[in-house]
Amino acid sequence: MQIQNMMNTPPVRVSEAESLENAARRMADAGVGALPVVDGDRVIGVVTERDLVVRAMARGLSTGSPVKRVMSTDPVTVEADTAVAVAILIMRSARVRHLPVVAEGCLIGIVSFDDLFWQLTQELSDLAVVVDAARKVPQVFHGTDKAPLLDG
């Protein structure tokens, strides 16, 4: 499965000149924990809830300060056709919980660790249902009996 099938789109975004207050409001309104920081459609950074707390509030920055003061620069991004397993490895190795998704360098979505976790949990649950159902299937489907509908 590709990451584009799991990303949130359209992604909520913010510019580096916008205020910390505006960034926090956008996060709250969208129910997200991070925003890609963009210049046009190009991702130039990421600002997270943690950035707002640790880099802004804890240091006494004004809520009117620009996002640029606290954002992480050189963000890790993935292309839309990246395999989910690869995206997870990238997140782990980069120690990030949010990945902007790009196509030809332009932001098209974002995926969080929570998005991936819940999707994979659902897939495992679906697989468990199939396995459980297979255990309950009559022997006919395991090749030891004749099919009931075909018995003459």
Alpha-carbon gap, residue 136 to 140, rounded angstroms:
11
Instruction: Give CA–CA dist 25/22, Å, rounded.
Output: 5
- 74-124 pLDDT, tens per residue? 999 999 999 999 999 999 999 999 999 999 999 999 999 998 888 888 888
Note whether 108 and 11 are within 8 A (CB). Answer: yes
Is 66 a residue whose pLDDT tops 90? Answer: yes
Q: Is the pLDDT of residue 39 over 80?
A: yes
Between 114 and 132, residue with greater pLDDT: 114
Contacts of 50 by beta carbon, 8 Å cutoff, 6+ apart: none
Other beta carbons less than 10 A from residue 40's beta carbon: 8
How much is the average pLDDT of 58-86?
A: 96
Residues 6+ away with beta carbon under 8 Å from 139: 145
pLDDT 10s digits, 133-151: 877 766 555 555 555 555 4
User: For residue 16, what is the DSSP state?
Assistant: T
Asked if residue 47 lies in contact with residue 14, where contact means CB atoms within 8 angstroms, the answer is yes
Instruction: Check if the beta carbon of residue 55 is closer than 8 Å to that of residue 69.
Output: yes
Region 59-63: what's the mean pLDDT?
97
